[in-house]
Chains A and B, each alone.
Chain A
Amino acid sequence: MIRIVEVARLRHGNEHRACGRGRSAAARVRGGEHVTDAEMTQALEDVTVVELTDETGDTCGRLLADLGANVIKVEPPGGSSFRRSSASGFDHDGTSYDFIAYNLNKRSIILDLDAAADLGTFKRLLAQADCFVESMGAAYMDAHGLGDAVLRQINPRMVITSITPFGSTGPLAGNPATDLTLSAEGGAMATTGAAARAPLRMAYPQVRQWAGAHAAASTMMALNDTELTGRPHRVDVPMILAVPWFMISQPDPSRAGKPGANRRGIRRSMGAASLPQVVPCKDGWVNYSVNAGPIAAAPQRKLVEWMHGEGMAPQWLLDFDFAGWDGAKTTKEWGEQFEAALVAFFATKTRKELAEFALKNGLFLGPVRTIDEVINERPFGGDETMWWTIDDHGESAKLPGAWVDLSETPLSLDRGAPRVDEHRAAILDELARAGGASTVGTGVAR
């Protein structure tokens, strides 16, 4: 038997702002009820996520919101601290552009968890939720009487996801951390930068993005499992674990040698040679993966022919057998000569010319582009379909759009980042109509 529960439009409340696609009324499914809803236009339209996060935790909810989830952002009085923190500047109201970017498609309510009434409302919200994502830390949660035992009593089935710097166990658990310190401790900085200088991190914070993506994937895996089997799940996402996933090579503890040995700018080894990964050219830089072996023999042969056509291919390079090249046997001297020949030739070519050659011939080469270029030039910039547009105090501004393309349930921008407490009335109204009060503390599986 199919039972469809028609409820308030939890996603949009009273202020539906469609961006290109209509919405049918969501068929809200509780617990393990399997309801066929041929009208689902968004993959997660019947999922409610309650989010209690700072800047380290917002990306997860953004991903789920883009997929259609009803993401309710609970903020403290005065709003999330992330509204006032930015690596990208602030809008006219003093709201962080980073906050805006990672809070699209969410709704906001202020709840003062130090006040009994608001804490009660928060618990009623949790009782209705499918997922709860927090990055406030165990100390904060315990101090507000929101430890795991309490959360489970409030809602035996919801997925509880905690994003923390170091996880809940180990010598560093509970320590303060930032993007910089996590990049260091997680191994990313050891390989970044010049050998004789300080290790570097990426100037725009990335660790929280990596962790957020993993948090979304694991939260969804857990949600599916709960819905299929009834098993409730807690998901722990220690941000530091996300960092080593960026290493191309497996670590070899027996090789733990001189610190700094792994840092050599953007260069790579080929046998005994040190080759550049990034090569200067006439108007900037190109990233070029020099490759031994059959995969790159033909395009690299063509590159040499191009050089030869302009009188810039030394005889030894013309004679070089790319197809039979065993990378492991490359000598230091060969590397130096090859680099010199490349640099001399690339100095006569623009990034555009080199990129066109690479595209045409299958060479593993691409231009190093600036942020300006990414925003304004193809690929990506200059193509409207790649971007979502929001209103920034009467001016339009664009952000990267759908991060994947789903044929049946496309991602969409349905609302911009919420103003603080913007959706209070709608959220409380929905809560009242869903009969939230009666479920608090009953532990009834729904």
Chain B
Amino acid sequence: MTAESQHLPLEGLLVVELTRVIVGPAIGRTLADFGATVIRVQSAHFPDFGGSGLGTRDPGPGGGSMGRWNFNKKSITLNLRNADGRELLDRLLRKADVFIENNAGGAIDRLGYGYDHVSSVNPRIIMVSTSMFIGFDPWSRYRAYGNQTAALMGFQSLVGYEGDTEVNAMPGPYTDFTSPPLATTAIMAALRHRRKTGRGQYIRQGQGQSVMLLMAGLLLGHQKNGIGTRYAHFSNRDAEMSPHGCFEASDGRWLAIAVRHEDDWEALCGAAGWNDLATDELLRDVDRRREQQDEIEARVEEWVLSQDSETALTLLHAAGVPVGLVVEPDELPGHPQFVALNAWEDATGRKGEHYSVHNLPYRISGVTPRHWSAPTAVGEDTFEILTQLLDVDEDKIASLYASGVLD
């Protein structure tokens, strides 16, 4: 690594987290990857997501399914029910640039660490509260996973088979993944604003509100034309492109194929050897193709099924027709495109632990994200943080443990 590639844009930034599960830790991980010192304040009284291995003294090499959100962080245990514990957190916040919390709406205020208190301790701090909703009682106190938030906000009415009534959706907590990059954008802007003005501020994100940006166009159009309703059972059709869908090959793999325009249509006909369709001038018009889309897609289905996926992919790539193999999650790290982009890489952590890192989905020139730690055991860095960052005397620490300040 050259000196240039060791430069990290967020070096010197101190971030404190009072977080659990995904959204808060994911924001912290983003900042940690790019050089920030990120300290998780943990406690036996605030266990992290159960069953994940997190929040234990031995999270395991990757920390399970939740581990990837907690790479490259340090951990201190502080008992926030104890006045001395709170005093230590205040001292940490005094030095911090960013404070992230993703507790249920209102919880941080009840804990006594709302923005009023935190900004009085450190007026320059950027505090970030991310929870399901801001405002809207009782929804602001709603205790839910991103799965429920996605359902509530209409994202589970966008996936389904034509002619069917069953609900489908991308499984998982959708809003947990849409929220962090939006919050990170705001944090970067707030840091810039602070550099210019000397002032910190409070960033609040309602995850159920943030995510609506991702269907802004649909919400706008639907008011005027009701288009959103049909998307609940639309299979893989498209508002504009035809043919457009997912087709099974002889080896049981599926191919997603999208014909954007006349040129793609001509290329597909050529690749598939459909002279009859290629010479039908009327089918150059997408509206005509859409009228006959069942018949046309039956032809695509037949053609794809007549060969294995690799053969079909090769033909379609050569023809310049947009196509995607339906790749299984477990195949992703070994997929040549993801390999070329270094999407996953093997890392060795500070204790010699080996683990697989899923890198953030962008590349900044001259910047190599630093991977120096798998998920940290709870309280791993308590001693170091107390002595080196908070100037606590080494001999005091034993008594702090004894009196429950560091639980």
Contact = CB atoms under 8 A, between A and B. Distances in A.
B352 interface: no
- Most chain A beta-carbon contacts within 10 A, residue among B115, B145, B231, B337: B337
A37 B197 contact: yes
Contacts of B343: 241, 244
A227 B34 CA distance: 16
Nearest to A97: B221
B50 to A, nearest CB: 5
Interface residues of A, number: 157
Given A34-B196, A241-B343, A289-B147, A87 B209 contact: no
Given A89-B221, A235-B363, A406-B190, A289 B236 contact: no
A406 B152 contact: no
Q: Enumerate the 8 nearest inter-chain pairs by beta-carbon distance, A residue then B residue, closest first.
A: A88-B221, A170-B340, A371-B228, A366-B148, A181-B324, A184-B324, A98-B217, A220-B188
Given A36-B198, A171-B340, A220-B188, 17 more contacts: A97-B218, A167-B363, A169-B340, A171-B336, A200-B235, A210-B178, A217-B182, A217-B185, A223-B188, A241-B338, A244-B332, A245-B177, A266-B169, A359-B142, A371-B215, A371-B219, A408-B193
A362 interface: yes
Contacts of A249: 65, 329
B273 interface: no
Contacts of A96: 217
Nearest to A35: B196
Interface stretch (B75-83, B238-246, B393-401): B238-246
A411 B92 CA distance: 30
A44 B190 CA distance: 9
A231 interface: yes
Interface stretch (B130-138, B276-284, B380-388): B130-138
Given A88-B227, A238-B361, A34 B240 contact: no
- Most chain A beta-carbon contacts within 10 A, residue among B67, B200, B214: B214
Given A34-B196, A249-B65, A380-B209, A373 B160 contact: no
B46 interface: no
B148 A183 contact: no
Contact of A180 (B170, B227, B238): B238
Given A192-B170, A203-B158, A369 B324 contact: no
Contact of B322 (A101, A178, A244): A178
Contact of A294 (B30, B50, B218): B50
Given A89-B227, A203-B231, A365-B148, A253 B171 contact: no
Where chain B touches its partner, the secondary structure class is: mixed
Contacts of A190: 326-329
A185 interface: yes
Interface in B135-192: 135-136, 138-139, 141-145, 147-161, 166-174, 177-178, 181-186, 188-192
Nearest to A285: B167
A126 to B, nearest CB: 17
B82 to A, nearest CB: 23
Contacts of A200: 159-161, 168, 235-236, 246
A399 interface: yes
B289 interface: no
A188 B325 CA distance: 11
- Most chain B beta-carbon contacts within 10 A, residue among A213, A295, A407: A213
B337 A240 contact: yes
Interface string A216-235: 11101111110111011111
B217 A87 contact: yes
A332 interface: no
Contacts of B220: 88, 97, 100-101, 397-399
Interface string B64-103: 1101100000000000000000000000000000000000
A62 B104 CA distance: 29
Interface stretch (A111-119, A257-265, A312-320): A257-265
A248 B358 CA distance: 12
B241 to A, nearest CB: 7
A386 interface: yes
A37 B362 CA distance: 32
Contact of B328 (A89, A238, A262): A262
A51 B385 CA distance: 44
B155 to A, nearest CB: 7
A174 B366 CA distance: 23
A278 B151 contact: yes
A176 B321 contact: yes
A206 B175 CA distance: 12
A214 interface: yes
